[in-house]
Structure formats: structure tokens, C-alpha cells
């Protein structure tokens, strides 16, 4: 546990980089401010001594009052400076850590990222990182401050009377024992509490994103059950924590204040014995029984510290996800080849999706992947785009193993149009150019080819129309054409269309087909075709079944060779020529 704490603080300071000097300065201010706590006690002792020795004059009162006043002002000024510096250091560190995570996530293989629960990532990015700020900006300087004062007072008391100074520590020893009880076995409970927060975040995200389905199926209050159960689970954990922490916390508070209980009899005994003067007894009765109450906030810091350690560990877990770095330049030719590829998803390693799968796609060729649902079509394209690495076998682009290629260049050279289009809360213009420096003319050019320019121009603010709330009014087909415009603008030589025509209805089917034709021009294309109508632009068709590509060729050849394709084509053909018969006659 101790090792974990050390490495976590060390990690935090490493992440802070040069900004750790703000934190060091803040600690120094806290330290001096904490030491100032001792000065008023010293002043009080001087006055008591003067009274006891009948030498108390106006000067003695005046000097000590000034001393006490200056030390109190200094204490607060320095504590304020410490807070300012710690906040500056903390927010700069927070900014760095957030950037580090975002940078890192951009280099993490997409598949690995999707294996992570999005609620867990949100908890880390949002709540856990905020806890780092709490620690750096507040806990660290406060820890020094609250510890320094009592330590300095104790040292001063040791200087005045060692045995009584040691007696003054008895409440501290008892309070530490109580704290030990309080925190024993807490790491598991706190871990559960953090996990329940992650679950709660995931359920909320799931609940909000599934709102449409919940309403459509009139699931009403039943849909709340998972949400309600998760809240109840969290409630149970926090009840458990408060039951465990409540009594020892009360004991801790009382014990830190019970100094007089020991000081009066023991100090009084020494005084009666004559080994203690009255001024020293008074000093210990006033101060020796009180100064430890300054340590009280340490208990709260202690419990928060456990949360901070958890946050550091979680942040590190994200930063430790292996990334793809370096690698060879992307080749100029783009023939794609799968050679005896075996693959199972990391979350389900026992169920192989692909076994010895082979596929050859020529440079500039357009190949459709067809097959039953769950056959592995999307898996193949995810492996080509290196969302995951193959277990056995290899995938090459232009003869080069994808695992040896620069990952960033793979992302640059492979465009994927997914079935679901993600629109950011930004203008349509920014949604098409997606962070590139493309001009409005270039964006419009791409949008024209994607058959969406006239629709965008009809929007209230044209290309400047904000998507956000308005975005919900885009139809599936319109969104898909925006995605196609993005891909046209990106102009990557390899194009993957995963069910890209699925949102097409008869009205915009023609437009989407035209958009896709424009998009595919001169590219190496793989289309995951669920509707066989998408096959018309393809040179060859590959059937995915039984964990591999079972046959590949032109439409006529595959029709002869593949029973699956023959059946699929026949039902597609029947559906195309289907005429609805109404009761009263033909429609």
C-alpha cells in the first residue's frame, strides 16, 4: 500500500513536469505558514511567564501582541499564496494530464478503445482527473500546513518540558489507533464505491442513448429498473461506508480534544511534586491539550487521499494502454491481402471469428464482402484498418505488413464510412472538414459530389448551421451523405464502406448511389454489403462464411459456386420484383 502511495505521488509530480515547481513553492509557503502556528503559543507563554514572575509590563504585552498579530497575518498571507500557487500548478498539471490522455487515446487502436466501457472512460476523464486537482491544489498544501503547525508546537513544548510534551501526545496515539481501525479494510470498500460510480455513469449513458428505444417500446418505468438498481447499489455501498466510518470518526474527534483528561492529573501531579512551575503547568493546560485539534482535518485528507490514489491508478491504466508508434511509410500501391488470418476478439478469446482466412484485393479494385449476419465481414475490415491485430497470419497493404506500417499513416490513408454517422456539435462546415484546413470551396466541392450541397444550402445558415440540437433533424440518408462528403474530402486511397447504403430509402437511394460512385472513383474499395443492391459498383464479390472467405469472383461465378450467395441473390431478386396484392386488386 505504501509503495502504491509513493509511486502515485511520484507519478503525479512526473505528469506535472516543470509545473511541479509551483507545487513545491506552494508546499514551502504552507510549511512556513504552518510553522507560524507556533508563534502565538510562544507569545502566550511569554505573557504567562511574565505574569507568574510579576514582571508583566505594558511593553511585554505590546511586544507579544505584535508578535502574535504579525504571525497570524503572515500565516494567512502565506497560506493564501500557497493556495494560489498550488491552484496554478494543479490546473496546469490537469491540462497536461487531460492532453496526455487525449493524445494517447488517439494512438490507441480503435478496437482496444471500444473494448473499454465508455462510462469508465468518462469517469476517468471527468471525475478521476478532477480528484487530481483536489489533491494538488488543496490536499497537498493543507497536509503540510496541518502537520507543520502541531509538529512545531510539539517541538517547542519538548523544549519547555519534555515529559509533559510526551504526555500531550497520548491523544494523538489513541487517535491514530482509531484512524487505523477506520481505514482498515477500507481500500476494498472504496474500490467498490468507485466501481459503483463507474456503473452509474455507464447506466446513465446507456439510458440516455437508449431513450428513443425506451419510448418507442413504451418501456416506461420498467426501463428505470437497471438505473434504479445501480443507484440502490451505490446507496448500499455508501451506507456501509458511513456505518463503518461513523463511530470511529466520532471517537477520533472526541479523542483529539481530550488532552485535558491527561494533562490535568499528570501536570497537576508534577506541579504538586514541585518539579513543575505554575507558568509551565498553565502553558500545558492551555496549549498542550489543544494543539492537536489542528490535526483534525488530516482525517478528511486521509480518506480523500485514498480516492486520489485510486484516480491516479485509473488515469495510469488509460495511459498504459499500449499504442502503435513509429513504423514504415504507407505504400504507394494498395493491393490488400489477408494471409491465413486467425482472430478472436479479446473479450471473447474462446470464440474465433476468423480461422485461416485468405483474401486478395487488387490495387484499385472494388470488392464486396457478403455473408450472413455475424459471419465476420466487419471484423475483416476492422483488421485491415488495424483496429485490432491478428492472432495468427498476416494482413498486407501494398505487400507491407499492416503491423509494421505507421499507424497514423494507416488512419490517413484508409477512409471508413460507417453505418452510423457521428456528427459533432459544430457547424455543418466543420462536420465535413473534421479538423482539416479545407476551405469552404473545397468542402462544397466534396458536398456536391456527395449530393448534399443543395440540401445544406437550403438550411437556415447554410454551411454555418449548427448541428447540435439541429442535427437531430438530419435524416439517416442526409447524415450518411455528410459522412460521404467527409470521405470525399479526405480522399484516402483505400475506402471501406461498412453498410454505408443502409440508411438509403427509395427517395435518396439514387443520390446515395451517385455519391458513393463519386467517392469510390479511382480507389481501392471494400464494401460490406448487406443489401445486394450495393454490389452493382463492385468488380468482385467475396462470400464470408465458416470463419473465412469461402469464395470470391464476379457475380456470375459466385452465383454458381456459393449456395449462400445463390439463395441471397434469389431472395433479393424476388423482393425487387415483388408486387403488393391488395384486396381490391393490383396496386
Ligand X SMILES: Nc1ncnc2c1ncn2[C@@H]1O[C@H](COP(=O)(O)OP(=O)(O)OP(=O)(O)O)[C@@H](O)[C@H]1O
Which positions lie near ligand X, rule CB under 6 A? 345, 347-348, 353, 371, 373-379, 530
> Which run of H or of E encompasses 551?
strand 548-553
Q: How far is the CB of 113 from ligand X (least distance, A)?
A: 11
Helix (H, G, I), strand (E, B) or coil at 494: strand
Q: Which residues touch 532 (CB under 8 Å, ≥6 apart)? A: 370, 568, 569, 572
Q: How far is the CB of 352 from ligand X (least distance, A)?
A: 9
Minimum CB distance to ligand X smaller for 141 or for 371 = 371
Query: How far is C-alpha 381 from the geometric centre of its chain's CA atoms?
Result: 27
Minimum CB distance to ligand X smaller for 110 or for 400 = 110
Minimum CB distance to ligand X smaller for 83 or for 376 = 376
Buried b (16+ CB within 10 A) or exposed e, 207-221: eeeeeeeeeeeeeee
Minimum CB distance to ligand X smaller for 334 or for 377 = 377
CB 551 within 8 A of CB 558: yes
Q: How far is the CB of 519 from ligand X (least distance, A)?
A: 21
The cell numbers describing 441, all together, are 470551396
Q: How far apart are CA 220 and CA 426, in angstroms?
A: 32
Q: How far apart are CA 437 and CA 429, in angstroms?
A: 11
Q: Which residues touch 22 (CB under 8 Å, ≥6 apart)? A: 85, 86, 88, 89, 92
Q: How far is the CB of 351 from ligand X (least distance, A)?
A: 7
Q: How far is CA 298 from CA 41, 175, 385, in A?
A: 21, 11, 52
Q: How far is the CB of 438 from ligand X (least distance, A)?
A: 31
Minimum CB distance to ligand X smaller for 93 or for 378 = 378
Phi, psi of 546 (to 5 degrees): 50, 45
Q: How far is the CB of 293 from ligand X (least distance, A)?
A: 56
CB 308 within 8 A of CB 142: no
Q: How far is the CB of 354 from ligand X (least distance, A)?
A: 9
Minimum CB distance to ligand X smaller for 72 or for 551 = 551
Minimum CB distance to ligand X smaller for 347 or for 437 = 347
Minimum CB distance to ligand X smaller for 114 or for 340 = 114
Minimum CB distance to ligand X smaller for 252 or for 388 = 388
Q: How far apart are CA 251 and CA 246, in angstroms?
A: 9
Phi, psi of 81 (to 5 degrees): -60, -40
Q: How far is the CB of 366 from ligand X (least distance, A)?
A: 18
Q: How far is the CB of 540 from ligand X (least distance, A)?
A: 18
CB 142 within 8 A of CB 82: no
Q: How far is the CB of 347 from ligand X (least distance, A)?
A: 5
What is the DSSP annotation of 243-277?
HHHHHHHHHHHHHHT-HHHHHHHHHHHHHHHTSS-
Minimum CB distance to ligand X smaller for 348 or for 472 = 348
Q: How far is the CB of 237 from ligand X (least distance, A)?
A: 29
Minimum CB distance to ligand X smaller for 235 or for 571 = 571
Task: Tell me the sheet residues that pair with 545.
Answer: 548
Q: Which residues touch 545 (CB under 8 Å, ≥6 apart)? A: 371, 372, 375, 562, 564
Q: How far is CA 566 from CA 58, 359, 543, in A?
A: 110, 20, 11
Amino acid at each position: 500500500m505504501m509503495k502504491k502511495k509513493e509511486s502515485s505521488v511520484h507519478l503525479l509530480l512526473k505528469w506535472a513536469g516543470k509545473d511541479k515547481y509551483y507545487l513545491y513553492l506552494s508546499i514551502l509557503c504552507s510549511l512556513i505558514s504552518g510553522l507560524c502556528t507556533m508563534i502565538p503559543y510562544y507569545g502566550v507563554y511569554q505573557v504567562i511567564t511574565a505574569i507568574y514572575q510579576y514582571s508583566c509590563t505594558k511593553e511585554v504585552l505590546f511586544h507579544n501582541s505584535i508578535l502574535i498579530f504579525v504571525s497570524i497575518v503572515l500565516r494567512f498571507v502565506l497560506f493564501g499564496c500557497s493556495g494560489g500557487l498550488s491552484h496554478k500548478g494543479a490546473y496546469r498539471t490537469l491540462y497536461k494530464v487531460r492532453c496526455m490522455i487525449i493524445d494517447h487515446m488517439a494512438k490507441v487502436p480503435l478496437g482496444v478503445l471500444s473494448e473499454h466501457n465508455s462510462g469508465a472512460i468518462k469517469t476517468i476523464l471527468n471525475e478521476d482527473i478532477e480528484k487530481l486537482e483536489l489533491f494538488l491544489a488543496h490536499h497537498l498544501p493543507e497536509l503540510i500546513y496541518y502537520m507543520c503547525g502541531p509538529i512545531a508546537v510539539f517541538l517547542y513544548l519538548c523544549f519547555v518540558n519534555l515529559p509533559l510534551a510526551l504526555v500531550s501526545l497520548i491523544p494523538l496515539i489513541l487517535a491514530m489507533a482509531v484512524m487505523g481501525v477506520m481505514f482498515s479494510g477500507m481500500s476494498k470498500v472504496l474500490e467498490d464505491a468507485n466501481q459503483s460510480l463507474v456503473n452509474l455513469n455507464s447506466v446513465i449513458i446507456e439510458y440516455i442513448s437508449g431513450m428513443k428505444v425506451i419510448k418507442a417500446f413504451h418501456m416506461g418505468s420498467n426501463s428505470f429498473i437497471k438505473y434504479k438498481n445501480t443507484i440502490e447499489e451505490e446507496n448500499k455501498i455508501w451506507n456501509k461506508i458511513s456505518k463503518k466510518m461513523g463511530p470511529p470518526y466520532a471517537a477520533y474527534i472526541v479523542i483529539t480534544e481530550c488532552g485535558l483528561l491527561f494533562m490535568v492529573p499528570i501536570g497537576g501531579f508534577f506541579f504538586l511534586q514541585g518539579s513543575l512551575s505554575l507558568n509551565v503547568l498553565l502553558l500545558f493546560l492551555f496549549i498542550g491539550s489543544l494543539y492537536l485539534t489542528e490535526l483534525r482535518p488530516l482525517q478528511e485528507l486521509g480518506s480523500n487521499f485514498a480516492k486520489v490514489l485510486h484516480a491516479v491508478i485509473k488515469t495510469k491504466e488509460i495511459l498504459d494502454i499500449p499504442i502503435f508508434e513509429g513504423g514504415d511509410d504507407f505504400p504507394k500501391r494498395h493491393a490488400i491481402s489477408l494471409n491465413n488470418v486467425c482472430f478472436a476478439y479479446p473479450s471473447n478469446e474462446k470464440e474465433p471469428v476468423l480461422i485461416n482466412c485468405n483474401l486478395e484485393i487488387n490495387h484499385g479494385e472494388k470488392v464486396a464482402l457478403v455473408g450472413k449476419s455475424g459471419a465476420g465481414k466487419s471484423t475483416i475490415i476492422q483488421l485491415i484498418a488495424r483496429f485490432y491485430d491478428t492472432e495468427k497470419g498476416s494482413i498486407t497493404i501494398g505487400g507491407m505488413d499492416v503491423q509494421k506500417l505507421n499507424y497514423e499513416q494507416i488512419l490517413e490513408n484508409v477512409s471508413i464510412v460507417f453505418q452510423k454517422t457521428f456528427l459533432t456539435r459544430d457547424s455543418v462546415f466543420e462536420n465535413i472538414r473534421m479538423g482539416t484546413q479545407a476551405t469552404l470551396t473545397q468542402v462544397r466541392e466534396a458536398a456536391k459530389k456527395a449530393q448534399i450541397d443543395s440540401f445544406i444550402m437550403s438550411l437556415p445558415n447554410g454551411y454555418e448551421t449548427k448541428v447540435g440540437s439541429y442535427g437531430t433533424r438530419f435524416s439517416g440518408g442526409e447524415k450518411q451523405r455528410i459522412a460521404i462528403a467527409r470521405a470525399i474530402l479526405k480522399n484516402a486511397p483505400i475506402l471501406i464502406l461498412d453498410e454505408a447504403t443502409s440508411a438509403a430509402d427509395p427517395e435518396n437511394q439514387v443520390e446515395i448511389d451517385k455519391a458513393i460512385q463519386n467517392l469510390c472513383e479511382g480507389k481501392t474499395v471494400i464494401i460490406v454489403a448487406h443489401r445486394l443492391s450495393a454490389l452493382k459498383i463492385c468488380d468482385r464479390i467475396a462470400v464470408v462464411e465458416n470463419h473465412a472467405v469461402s469464395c470470391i469472383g464476379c457475380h456470375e461465378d459466385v452465383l454458381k459456386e456459393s449456395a449462400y450467395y445463390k439463395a441471397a441473390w434469389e431472395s433479393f431478386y424476388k423482393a425487387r420484383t415483388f408486387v403488393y396484392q391488395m384486396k381490391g386488386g393490383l396496386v
